[in-house]
Amino acid sequence: MVTLSAGGIVKLKEIRAPYYRLLSQIFRETRPEDLYGPILFFDRLRTRVEEIEKSRLRHPSKKAKKDG
One digit per residue, the tens of pLDDT, for the chain of length 68 reads 677 788 988 998 899 899 888 888 888 888 878 878 888 898 899 889 989 888 888 887 655 555 44
23, 35 in Cβ contact below 8 A? yes
* Alpha-carbon dihedral angle through residues 47, 49, 53, 58, given to the nearest 10 degrees: 60
Q: CB of 53 within 8 A of CB of 4?
A: yes
Q: Is the pTM of this model over 0.75?
A: no
